[in-house]
Structure 1
Amino acid sequence: MEYYRNFDQLRTTGLPVVKHGFWRPWYELTDGQFTYGKLTYTNAFKSCCLLETATGSWNIRRKGLLSRKLVIEQPAGEEIGMVVPQRWCRKIQLSLNKGFTATFFNKKVLSHNYTWVSDQYGDILVVQTKFWSWKRPFIVQIEPEMAKTVPHLPLLALMGINLVLLKQAEAAAVS
């Protein structure tokens, strides 16, 4: 965990996500000089992934084989939260066991910007997708004051990238 820089030391508002590899890609959240987190898929179907940051690591897996719900676990196996996509809506609800809740959605219908919104903190961060950019497919926009006030910001940033990748995989499977 000492490899990653803490989000409290963030000095920029935009963090590009760098994609490494082609057959088994992994994604790195960086500002060009320091690495803030890493997202790695543990199987080919993107149903399990590992999120790593300076504050901890989390395993994300589907609740069941055909379930849309995602379970957030500590590496020891302790379940700390759940991600539930709402039906007939483009919103995704994150609920942690400690009481924190946030919603992930794009505010405009044809927009490629996805936002984490919380009742307590308002707009937390924005995951912006880039067209025709294979090496840097996303930019995570974080306000510097949010890095100091929101306790689960590293989890939200990497979970947002994971959710956009899952949405892209579902859209590709349908077409």
Structure 2
Amino acid sequence: MDQFRSFDQLRTNELSVLRHGFFKLWFELTDGQFCYGKLSYGNFWKTIYILEVEKKTWIIKRKGIFKRSFLINDLDGMNLGVVTPEIWSRKIRLSMNNGFEAVYLNKKLISRTFTLTNDQFGDILNIRTELWGFKKPFKISFDLDMLKKIPELPLLALLGVNLVLIKQAKAANAAS
């Protein structure tokens, strides 16, 4: 975990997500010079997701085989929160055990921007899907002041990228 730079040292409000590998796929959160985090898969079937930043690692996995919800755990297995897609809606609700609640959603019907919103803070971050971006599929933008207000911002950014990848995989399976 020494290869990651701390989010406290971040000086730009936009990060890119780089895609690495083909068979063993993983994604890197970078500003072009430094690496701030990593999203990888825990198994071949892509049912366990590993999110890593400087001093923290989170494991995201389904609540059950036929469940829609995802559990957010730390390395010790302690539950930190739940991510639940709403039925008949484009919203994905995030509920953390520390009381933080937010919603991931596309604000417009046809939009490439996936937004995390909260009642208290408003729009926290935006994840924009790049057209023809195979190597750099996403751009994440946020306000630098949010780093002081929301300490879980690295988790929220990588979790948002993971949710967009899950939505893209579901859309590709439905089209085939």
Report if TM-score (shorter chain) is over 0.5: yes
Secondary structure class of the residue paired with 1:36: strand
Deviation at 1:7, TM superposition (A): 1.5
Name the residue aligned to 2:106. 106
Gapped runs of 5+ residues in structure 1? Answer: none
CA contact (8 A) 1:72 1:80 kept: yes
Secondary structure class of the residue paired with 1:22: coil
The code of the aligned residue for 1:150 comes to I
Equivalent-residue separation in structure 2 for 1:71 and 1:50 (angstroms): 12
Residue by residue, what CA displacement relative to the aligned partner does 1:69-105 show, whole Å, maximum 9, x if unpaired? 0000011111111000000000000111111111000
Gapped runs of 5+ residues in structure 2? Answer: none
Q: Give the TM-score, by structure 2 length.
A: 0.96
Equivalent-residue separation in structure 2 for 1:49 and 1:80 (angstroms): 15
Could you list the structure 1 runs, at least 4 aligned residues long, displaced by more than 4 angstroms after superposition: none
Deviation at 1:46, TM superposition (A): 2.1
Equivalent-residue separation in structure 2 for 1:121 and 1:54 (angstroms): 25
Match runs of 1:133-144 below 5 Å? 133-144=133-144
The code of the aligned residue for 1:149 comes to K
Deviates more, 1:2-11 or 1:124-133: 2-11
How many residue pairs match? The answer is 175
Equivalent-residue separation in structure 1 for 2:2 and 2:21 (angstroms): 23
Secondary structure class of the residue paired with 1:162: helix
Name the residue aligned to 1:128. 128
Equivalent-residue separation in structure 1 for 2:173 and 2:20 (angstroms): 22
Deviation at 1:66, TM superposition (A): 1.7
Equivalent-residue separation in structure 2 for 1:132 and 1:49 (angstroms): 25
Equivalent-residue separation in structure 2 for 1:142 and 1:116 (angstroms): 10
Equivalent-residue separation in structure 2 for 1:133 and 1:23 (angstroms): 18
Residue by residue, what CA displacement relative to the aligned partner does 1:105-153 show, whole Å, maximum 9, x if unpaired? 0111100100111112111000110121110000111211112221110
Q: Give the TM-score, by structure 1 length.
A: 0.96
Equivalent-residue separation in structure 2 for 1:75 and 1:89 (angstroms): 32
Q: Does 1:58 align with 2:58?
A: yes
How well do the aligned residues superpose, as a CA RMSD in angstroms? 1.0
Residue by residue, what CA displacement relative to the aligned partner does 1:9-60 show, whole Å, maximum 9, x if unpaired? 2111110100000112100000111111000011233211100012411000
CA contact (8 A) 1:46 1:166 kept: no
Equivalent-residue separation in structure 2 for 1:14 and 1:80 (angstroms): 26
Q: Does 1:76 align with 2:79?
A: no
The code of the aligned residue for 2:168 comes to Q
Name the residue aligned to 1:146. 146
